[in-house]
Structure 1
Amino acid sequence: MKQFKISIPASSANIGPGFDSAGLALNRFLTLDVTEQEEWEFEHKSHFLPSFTDYADHFIYKIAKQTADRHQKTLPGCKVTVASEIPLARGLGSSASAVLAGIELANQLCGLSLTGEQKLQYGTDIEGHPDNIAASLFGGVVVTATTQNNQVEYVRLTSLDLDVVVCIPDSELKTETARSVLPANFSRKNATSASAITNVMIAALLSGDYHVAGKMMENDLFHEPYRAELIPNYENIRRKAKAKGAYGTVISGAGPTMISFVPKGKGAYIREQMEAGLTGYTIAGLQIDQTGLQVN
């Protein structure tokens, strides 16, 4: 009887101007404990997980079946116990984690021997953009691009000497709503300026100049100016985090969570300072997860 455990980290995408391109893995996890048996069965052990009525309607099962069908394989029955530390619709990559869970579930059950690149491509085909998928898959900070032939290329940055603090509101924000406020087109002048800010941010992260990286994060032109009105306490959180020593604070993914990049070792202090006077939020000091998807 086959038994295994799949663990997938949360993720934060964009990092300000790295819109639909840059992402990082965070040490909150979606986990699946899997045991083969005759019939399919899902059991949830977290209030963060959505309800379901039948295994065939379960999102992770649908992705697993889609992946198995892609390889002309049939999924054997199993019991899947799912636990999650990743809140839904908060900009922390819950959807990407679930997509990867389904892909890896099929990979293990059907013996597909998928490469990391194949998992990234499959996940991107489903999600529509690679940033969250790549970060949760490979861990660390990952910069991605989709080429004209729909192939995904990625570069994983070396370990960054940073802590992160997230401000997670009690309210949700659907990605579709956050995307609906974005402009359909940019002028060449605006696109050039926005791209230059992204380039400097990535270069600053690579060189360890986190003060410049933070400044660039907070000068995004691609999405934050349009989404700010949808994010509770957007300016208040940015000002407060900066005053307490954060390098920069941006929207995590599509929001409404805000994520601050802070000096290594200062995460706990800044988290405590951010809690004062900010009600209706969960404030968490997190680490950048360096391992990504794991199977045991």
Structure 2
Amino acid sequence: MKILVPATSANLGPGFDCLGLSLGLFNEIEIYKSNVSSLSVSGEGSDNIHLKKNNIFIQIFNEIYQKLSGQKNHFRFIFKNNIPLSRGLGSSSATIVGAIVGAYAMSGFKIEKEKILNEALNYETHPDNIAPAILGGFVCSIVEENKVYSIKKDIDENLRAIIVIPDAIMNTEQSREALPANLSLSDCVFNLSHSSFLTACFLEKKYELLALASKDKLHQMQRMKNLPELFEVQKFALENKALMSTLSGSGSSFFSLVYKENVNFFIQKMTQKFSNFRIECLEFDNKGFEIC
């Protein structure tokens, strides 16, 4: 079997741990029954020995497969990683989702997205990345009593994601340590109102209001201080026809939303200004993971 799992961009400014969307960039995983266990990795992280010695995908897959099937079998895993690692594009969530989907499928169980989503919550405690990786599109999620509730909206075909990817990585755990331990009431209200307004903008397709809606006072500034050039990336993007521009997840990548008709102009401007950064134009994914 072959599984495709999309990259994701989470938080989207004020929607800390609850908002995310799915990008048209996919990790590909092939799984075969075998006489011996083996794996191969190509693409992102192929030179990382830890991905082979301590592969999280295989650990999760084996744990769930044995729980579902009651068996211990050997498999060959072939990973083609297209999602950059530790860049805020949901590579960890793609690993978790792919492993769970693979275990369910190889055990002969029906693939139900709600079940996969709640299973994934055991490995990723907030749903901002796992929900769009499973459902596709723009997704707003909450967690109540260890269950995820999500509302999904397909993203228009005339929109594109421009991802600015620095060479520097940002570790999610270390990035969270930079966040303030206490927040003022006014900052909490600011983020609650902007997150709600941003969700309404996507649901009602009021894209012209996203630059306003995507402002944040909770996490972006603290995280961006680790790579100060990101402040200029955001400012320059908004000055050059980006509908919104936000830190992707915990970073270091930056996500900008643009109309399809403005893509060439935007990329030209960004490439000239930030020639040392990798810049990718991606369509959006409205399906979530797929089994081929």
TM range (shorter): over 0.9
Aligned residues between the structures: 291
| Alpha-carbon distance, 1:179 to partner | 0.4
Quickly say closer, same or farther: Cα 1:115–1:266, change in 2 above 3 A: same
Equivalent position of 1:214 in the other structure: 211
- 1:242 matched to 2:277? The reply is no
Equivalent position of 1:35 in the other structure: 32
**Mapped partners of 2:51, 2:191: distance in 1:** 45
Q: Secondary structure at the match of 2:186?
A: helix
| Alpha-carbon distance, 1:235 to partner | 1.9
Quickly say closer, same or farther: Cα 1:61–1:253, change in 2 above 3 A: same
Q: Secondary structure at the match of 1:45?
A: strand
- 1:19 matched to 2:16? The reply is yes
Quickly say closer, same or farther: Cα 1:232–1:87, change in 2 above 3 A: farther
- Structure 1 unaligned segments of length 5 or more: list them: none
Q: Secondary structure at the match of 1:259?
A: strand
Quickly say closer, same or farther: Cα 1:56–1:178, change in 2 above 3 A: closer
Q: Secondary structure at the match of 1:125?
A: coil
**Mapped partners of 1:28, 1:229: distance in 2:** 27
Equivalent position of 2:248 in the other structure: 252
**Mapped partners of 2:279, 2:61: distance in 1:** 33
| Alpha-carbon distance, 1:175 to partner | 0.3
Of 157-166 and 172-181, the range deviating more from structure 2: 157-166
| Alpha-carbon distance, 1:268 to partner | 3.2
Deviations along 1:101-160, one digit per CA (max 9) or x if unpaired, are: 11112112112324211111111220111111111111111111011x121100001333
**Mapped partners of 2:50, 2:260: distance in 1:** 44
Q: Secondary structure at the match of 1:126?
A: coil
| Alpha-carbon distance, 1:55 to partner | 6.5
- 1:280 matched to 2:276? The reply is yes
Equivalent position of 1:183 in the other structure: 180
- Structure 2 unaligned segments of length 5 or more: list them: none
Q: Secondary structure at the match of 1:256?
A: coil
Amino acid at match of 1:206: L
| Alpha-carbon distance, 1:28 to partner | 1.1
| Alpha-carbon distance, 1:27 to partner | 1.1
Of 42-51 and 190-199, the range deviating more from structure 2: 42-51
| Alpha-carbon distance, 1:50 to partner | 6.1
- 1:137 matched to 2:134? The reply is yes
**Mapped partners of 1:55, 1:233: distance in 2:** 33
Amino acid at match of 1:247: L
Deviations along 1:262-288, one digit per CA (max 9) or x if unpaired, are: 123322331222011313211011111
| Alpha-carbon distance, 1:185 to partner | 3.1
| Alpha-carbon distance, 1:86 to partner | 0.7
Equivalent position of 1:269 in the other structure: 265
Equivalent position of 2:150 in the other structure: 154
- 1:173 matched to 2:170? The reply is yes
**Mapped partners of 1:51, 1:226: distance in 2:** 29
**Percent of matched pairs sharing the same residue:** 26
- 1:57 matched to 2:54? The reply is yes
Quickly say closer, same or farther: Cα 1:238–1:56, change in 2 above 3 A: closer
**Mapped partners of 1:240, 1:157: distance in 2:** 28
Quickly say closer, same or farther: Cα 1:153–1:233, change in 2 above 3 A: same
| Alpha-carbon distance, 1:69 to partner | 3.9
Equivalent position of 2:92 in the other structure: 95
- 1:122 matched to 2:119? The reply is yes
| Alpha-carbon distance, 1:291 to partner | 1.6
The TM-score with structure 2 as length reference comes to 0.93
**Mapped partners of 1:155, 1:95: distance in 2:** 22
Amino acid at match of 2:88: G
Amino acid at match of 2:249: G
Deviations along 1:137-194, one digit per CA (max 9) or x if unpaired, are: 11111111011x1211000013334211110001111001110111223233321221
Of 132-141 and 224-233, the range deviating more from structure 2: 224-233
Q: Secondary structure at the match of 1:205?
A: helix
